[in-house]
Structure 1
């Protein structure tokens, strides 16, 4: 994967200055970059580390004085981190899996396999599966019967996809993702203690011990185009209707998406976020790491929930929330500040109590 600086600039729409015939074959941090790598110095703090490495070329911001940094050439971008998206794609050597069908893979004769599909060792493709052109199925992947996956998808090793699902184009699933497992749905013959606590806020929690009856998941999962799912993330199928993930949504590792959840377009779900059953998430929503959303509520478009927030009620569009329970971010921070002041406040109150003489009775 070697390119000249001129080729990279033309492909990514960047400005190239200096010796644009220099050939590079990778990228690295400024202090670690070799002569054949581009130093990723996307802000002045990083650029200060360039002399510690051997890079001749760097990715810099517009207007950067690259000559003063001792470089032979530079790639200049209005938003260097965004330019890194395209540059990293150019430099990605891929997974190294061979093309075509590996001899150890098991593919049902009724499956429809598109042009240029790669199916790796020990993969299992069920009956009636449809794989779009250019899709790559890594080693040890399983795709359940009658599932449809669009073109140019990439399933890394060990991905498990259940039956009767619909997944769009350019889907990416990292190692160990599980899509289409049954939802966590159970019910008791009579109202359970959990139901009583929820309706009475704990004032009435007595309930006879009962066995849990399983509600089977008859719905599927529908995933739009350009969706990515991280390692060990689980997306449960719906109870009757499908769990839905909108176009362009990106899901990190160890995220739980419960049954019947609906997630809009271009959302970002960070590591260990959890969304309980039947919650609805709007477009362009960001859930920080370990954020949680309770069941059957709606989170509006463009909401940002900070790390470890627990969203327990509907959130209007455009709001930033934080805390447990999640409230407006500025209010949550004020409450946190007040909480930190409590020990000092209690000491002050105790001192005042000692300073005030006790009232004496008339006796």
Structure 2
């Protein structure tokens, strides 16, 4: 920092125009940009705000007339939002985690800590833990015994990783995330009210009140490479076999993954998604915010669910789903349109009934 426009263009593989020796030290929205900022004017409606700021350079879309915008230089990206991924990485100064092991950290003598690992204040690293090179373990992080963490991990303060968990390279976990808690598994001596209702779809059929016995979680959690876990999200360990998360999956805040769940590669799990135990999710699946997935289901590759969708049955590959219960999005939207017409339809029916009732029977 700072960077020249030419430096940024070369790093991102995009085209630079104008005074490419111009230096920028930060990014900003067009209206708030100072003279040393790179304005992010990636759409025409954003570019209209450039006159309100002082930016001399901006990231624009291919074909934009940067000179007419009064700029001295421009970065021209075919897909500006994708280019912003690399740009944000360049501009991110990090959270300032100090190198080395803090004197208040508690590290078991049998733990294997690779070179260049940072361990923050009051972190606890259990027996037999292995942590890959270049990883950052934030303050008050807990890592249970026998867990393996790959290279380049970033565990922000307050993350908790249970025992016997295996995590690949470049794992990121945000504040308060938990991996490897026991699954929510309880059973009653006789079939419970919940089981009866599930079988009968509404009738408890004389089920009696009973206490619940806990089923211990003997499996672990296996997470692939390049996985990111949002703040306060939770991935439970398996009952007998491991809960598994594929490579490249990204979880938003407050996501919940139940015991024995298997998730494929490159899935996007948005905020407040809940996936019940033993369900299987394919590759490249996007679960919109507040999507709920019932237990023991299969969701195929490339499925997308809209916000607040509730999946109660298997979903074939490639479907776009919406609603409760989930159905194809176009079908759900058509039903919603018809539902909105119901008041008018009922008014019309009432008017017709009134007209019929007034008709002279002799006619």
Question: Helix, strand or coil for the counterpart of 2:208?
Answer: coil
Does residue 113 of structure 2 align to residue 87 of structure 1?
no
Q: Give the TM-score, by structure 1 length.
A: 0.98
Does residue 302 of structure 2 align to residue 283 of structure 1?
no
Question: Helix, strand or coil for the counterpart of 2:235?
Answer: strand
Question: Helix, strand or coil for the counterpart of 1:356?
Answer: helix
Does residue 54 of structure 2 align to residue 54 of structure 1?
yes
Query: Is 1:194–1:205's contact at 8 Å kept on the other side of the alignment?
Result: no
After superposition, what is the alpha-carbon deviation per residue over 1:197-248, rounded to whole angstroms, capped at 9, x for unaligned? Answer: 1111113442011000000000010000000000000110000100010000
1:1-363 matched pairs, under 5 angstroms: 1-357=1-357
Question: Helix, strand or coil for the counterpart of 1:17?
Answer: strand
Return the alpha-carbon distance in structure 1 between the equivalents of residues 340 and 259 of structure 2: 39
After superposition, what is the alpha-carbon deviation per residue over 1:101-160, rounded to whole angstroms, capped at 9, x for unaligned? Answer: 011111000000011000011110000000000000011100001100000000011101
Return the alpha-carbon distance in structure 1 between the equivalents of residues 321 and 251 of structure 2: 20
Return the alpha-carbon distance in structure 2 between the equivalents of residues 64 and 205 of structure 1: 69
Gaps of 5+ in 2: none
Q: CA deviation at 1:359?
A: 8.7
Do the aligned partners of residues 356 and 181 (structure 1) sit closer, same or farther apart at CA in structure 2, a change above 3 Å counting? Answer: same
Aligned residues: 362
Query: Is 1:280–1:297's contact at 8 Å kept on the other side of the alignment?
Result: yes
Query: Is 1:112–1:128's contact at 8 Å kept on the other side of the alignment?
Result: yes
Which structure 1 residue ranges, 4+ long, deviate > 3 Å from structure 2?
A: 358-362
Which shows bigger deviation, 196-205 or 131-140? 196-205
Question: Helix, strand or coil for the counterpart of 1:100?
Answer: coil
After superposition, what is the alpha-carbon deviation per residue over 1:237-291, rounded to whole angstroms, capped at 9, x for unaligned? Answer: 0001000100000000000100000011000000001100001000000000001
Return the alpha-carbon distance in structure 1 between the equivalents of residues 63 and 291 of structure 2: 39
Return the alpha-carbon distance in structure 2 between the equivalents of residues 288 and 361 of structure 1: 58
Return the alpha-carbon distance in structure 2 between the equivalents of residues 88 and 361 of structure 1: 79
Query: Is 1:244–1:261's contact at 8 Å kept on the other side of the alignment?
Result: yes
Question: Helix, strand or coil for the counterpart of 1:121?
Answer: coil
